[in-house]
Structure 1
Amino acid sequence: MLDLTVAIPTYNGADRLPLILEKLRSQINTENISWEVIVVDNNSSDNITEVVKNYQAKWPENIPLRYCFEAEQGLAFARQRAIEESKGYFVGFLDDDNLAEADWVAAAFKFGQEHQKAGAYNGKIIGNFEVNPPENFNKIKPYLAIREHGSQPHLFEPEKLRLPPGAGLVIRKQAWFECVPSRLALTGRVGKVMVAGEDYEALLYLHKGGWEIWYNPAMCIYHKIPKKRLERDYLLPLGKGIGLATCQLRMVNAKNWQKPWIFTRTILGNLRRITQLFIKYRGQVKTNLISAFELEYFWGSLLSPFYIFYKLGKNK
């Protein structure tokens, strides 16, 4: 078994993959680490296989670069395939728009060795913007997987849904196989369906199994944000999609007697938030991009209990 696998799930990421691979090929302080890179093609229609083959021809022999294919679209399926294919004791996930700092691999492996109860951990995620983000963007930047939680390691709070995103996440494979179902309820954004939360769902199962979830500031990646991801057509469906996962996530670690209360509290709490938003912004709720995003998020959260039943009916 290797020390670490770096897995890159990608869908039509042929144009984005070269820069990510260059960053991985340039990693430092890995002389005493056995590691590999896996590109997980999530049913792409571009020339991703050609890109990987070209890099394999000139890739360092001591760091395997492998390709695998996952036909079922959805980030949850791609990550599950990466776990199954990986040979590393730890598996670090980089999305195809994540650029790792030169010491990311070394920092990831070191932290896992030093924190034996850590089932998963993440680090700093800094936004790399194609254009300047809108005013007050900081209010919603965590929803685009841009996170900085200070300079000291600390535990996340899963019981409050305070968790890291899947971008840059490192998991202990033993913990994943022990705790995470092979098929999650939330499968990730596919096409026009923007419902997210698959990364949080997996982490909640790890927490349920007794594993710790950590923040490690020594790990740093840059998340490339193109112009289109700062526009209304992308942000508003994203907000609603994240909200739609809320109730499902709160149910993961809930006891049966708690579930009706979670259902009710989710509805009443988001009715209150929507009312407060309209009072605060008055006529600007729909014209101000940030408040419009918040509205869609609260609206999605309000609908999230009913979304559970919708999915159950759809899957019958």
Structure 2
Amino acid sequence: MNREELMDLFSEKIRELLARLPVYYEEVQEIRLRAEKPLLIRYGTREYFVTEDGKLSEEESEGFLVDKKELMETMEYIANYSMYAYEEELKQGYLTVRGGHRIGVAGKIIMDGNRISSVRYISFVNVRLSHERKGCADQIMPYVFENGELCHCMIISPPGCGKTTLLRDLIRQVSNGSAWCEGQTVGVVDERSEIGGSYLGVPQNDLGIRTDVLDCCPKAAGMMMLIRSMSPRVIAVDEIGDYEDIRAIEAVLNCGCRILATVHGNSIEDIEKKPLLKRFLTEKIFQRYVLLGNRDAVGSLKGIFDERGTRLC
């Protein structure tokens, strides 16, 4: 992570406070700014207030209050003084900046009929830091291959427990090739710009030498576009869940592609309770389920299971 590049996103005052913090930025998950509220940082698995003298505190009263001026100055830095240039992205509630960091925003929504026209009076900003952890998929690689073939794999975890980070490294290793497989062409549908963290169309995260990325594209439409245009052997998507996603995954399977996907959940039982996803379990479509948690640390591996529910690890 380029620490200086990250600091340049914030107003001068907030930048000064963050620069003093006694933290390892590879463990920082989020930095939250809310108008007239204390500056918050999620570090590891815990949340802290940032104090006036650049320290961490669990006491709300000690937190530095972010005023509207600091917020607006931060948004100007984020958008390179051209909010208009990012207007289309902001309609989605976020934008992606150099380094792959994702900036979530909230404020007054301006509607045009049933469509969001723009976001005005931005008063809430969430900077989600992009983390590359090359090698974090090493622990699962022996289990997601069978007879030399990549298995259809679903990564399950609660929010903020590293499923996208794990998926990213799995994509990289499959794309580049490893002790477990030769390099394969991978197509990534990156609907929220979180996997590749693309900036001006170029992924800021390393997804491997044989990977093609559709950035800011709806998952269902993107999977079909990749099949028609890029001839992938593997397709990867993040956070599946709606009916269109399920139909597209079925089409991917019928085309002979391997699928790597993530979904929110605390357990396989959680997936069974979701009608759209339960079918994957009953029909044994996914061959591997990788379960993550945060009991010991963010991204802790809780277990790997096969299509029958047998624990492999």
Normalising by structure 2, we get a TM-score of 0.29
Q: Name whichever structure is richer in strand by fraction.
A: 2
State the structure with bigger RCO (CA 8 A, min sep 6), 1 or 2. Answer: 1
